Structure 1
């Protein structure tokens, strides 16, 4: 009743009064839409750069890789070449372990949505791909779909999708480690941290930049630490050597 009375009082005011009430919100709404359009445009630009970068590497990958290795050898000899090879392994690990896993989970989740009769299954599959790439998994899309099926009274397909979602949601725990090990001998936590940090810092192209930076830094740091011999297991010998050094300093 209050809504009905308010609506009629608003109509009785006329067009000018309505515009006076709406005008303060127009600027805020326009600013919000412009901001969202800018975010979408930036996201599409990052996707285009990632696809262009991948296409160029696929087209002239061997020549580009050899040129980069020569340049790295010129800068830091064997360590430079090792850093380039490690970067290639990190990119391969991300392509296999993260991207392929995201595609598999999203496609299987989309199949479950389509079979269960959830509308806009194709669009939701695209959303699941993005969700899996940022390491959220397919469940943020599948769980609302399950709730919607139960809400509409379709409990049979809701239960089927619930069981299917449990399988698809845990599939990455099996597929991703195997694929990352196929791509590179790097810790799983290192790759995933690089993926998440790269996406936050650089957008979609950071999907590859982040793991490369972390992998190269970690491997070079590890090589630098292991350049010296490992500490001895006899602490008494170390303490005796330290005492000898202190006595020699006192005598001098």
Structure 2
């Protein structure tokens, strides 16, 4: 006996119930996908930020050199360039730390055997330093006091701390490798992905959705210029000042300053520590000079250059830029440097359209 199949009704548009069911299914799958990739979301976000920031340069490179038959060399070159930007400074800092490890070990052994020498700056204090001098000689100047200080500082937890640091570094390394792999495919498939995202935004949200996407991209571009590039410039200028002032390992401290300067006002803590180191060496004039130059550089960067670079591209008031940066860091960690201003930019755009100021 032959069983005939029932005809499928022709309903390309679907009913309202089907649309609701499909929306629920899509939302459920999206949540399941986010839960599945929860440990990789940070790497995906970093790769997206790098791809957005470098996309104009990548497009110009495509126009000049082409994509090639398999579209591999150019994405690989950009990905390796990003890797080198991060690996080179970290490697340099690690090399400097390795060079100083033996000196630090020798200093610890000498302090345990002979005590810690009193800094010359104490002798040059403008007030009576007799009590400080007596305390130093009694507490730290003799081998017993120095050994007690070393034991309290180490606390017997060196191995435990080293293990925790090693695990954290391994986790960060795996995230970094996955970020690079994702970045390679974003570059390789970027043209197709951009077209699909624009089409999807138009279909789901209309022109407003596309404008929000453009606002977020513009915010990321402005944030990269205003935070990363300005931070690197601050680190370069202050690194030269450290070198002129005779700060040991001025290159390393310059890199640390550049990283800290990517967060508004954070570089102040670094050059304040540098000034204290110079004070400990008795270089009072250089310490004052470092503080003055550091305050001037950070003031100009945070109050004049960054508002133009970040707020100018998105027409976003700098107050909201600053709140987005600081709130983003608190909520999302370091990646909040870029997510925070992007979220604020999208909200401000929606507000302007809601109150009738028209699309930005």
Structure-2-length-normalised TM-score: 0.50
Cα shift readout 1:18-58 (whole Å, capped 9, x = no counterpart): xxxx9xx65x5544444444555555666667777777666
1:224 alignment counterpart: 354
Distance in 1 between residues matched to 2:204 and 2:320, nearest whole Å = 26
Distance 2:341 2:208 in 1: 18
Q: Equivalents in 2 of 1:221, 1:121: separation in Å?
A: 47
Q: Which has the higher helix share?
A: 1
Structure 1 residues 93 and 163: alpha-carbon distance in aligned structure 2, compared to 1, 3 A threshold:
same
Asked if the contact 1:102/1:133 (under 8 Å) is kept, the reply is yes
Show the 5 A alignment for 1:138-217: 138-172=267-301, 173-217=303-347
CA pair 129-5 structure 1, distance change in 2 beyond 3 A: closer
**Whole-angstrom CA distance in 1 between matches of 2:315 and 2:242:** 36
**Cα pair 2:265 2:298 within 8 Å, conserved:** no
Q: CA deviation at 1:166?
A: 2.8
Q: 2: distance between equivalents of 1:211 and 1:148?
A: 35
How big is the alpha-carbon RMSD for the aligned residues of Structure 1 and Structure 2?
A: 3.6
**Equivalents in 2 of 1:155, 1:113: separation in Å?**
14
Match of 2:202 in 1: 73
Contact preservation (8 Å) 1:43, 1:203: no
* Aligned residue pairs, count: 213
SS in 1 for 2:206: helix
Higher RCO, 1 vs 2 (CA within 8 Å, ≥6 residues apart):
1
| TM-superposition CA deviations, 1:135-175 (whole Å, max 9, x none) | 23322111222232233222343343233223223122121
CA distance in 2, matches of 1:152, 1:210: 41
CA-CA distance at 1:83 after TM superposition? 1.0
Distance 1:218 1:175 in 2: 21
2:264 alignment counterpart: 135
Range with bigger deviation, 170-179 or 135-144: 135-144
Given that 2:234 and 2:297 are in contact with CA atoms closer than 8 Å, whether structure 1 keeps it comes out as: yes
Instruction: Give deviations 1:151-202, integer Å, cap 9, x for gaps.
Output: 3222343343233223223122121112124422112122222222333333
Indicate the larger mover: 38-47 or 202-211.
38-47
TM-score of the aligned structures, taking structure 1 as reference length = 0.68
- Structure 1 residues 107 and 5 mapped into 2: Cα distance closer, same or farther (>3 Å)? closer
Q: Which residue of 2 aligns with 1:16?
A: none
Change (3 A) 1:47 1:139: farther
Q: Give the unaligned 5+ runs of structure 2.
A: 1-137, 147-151
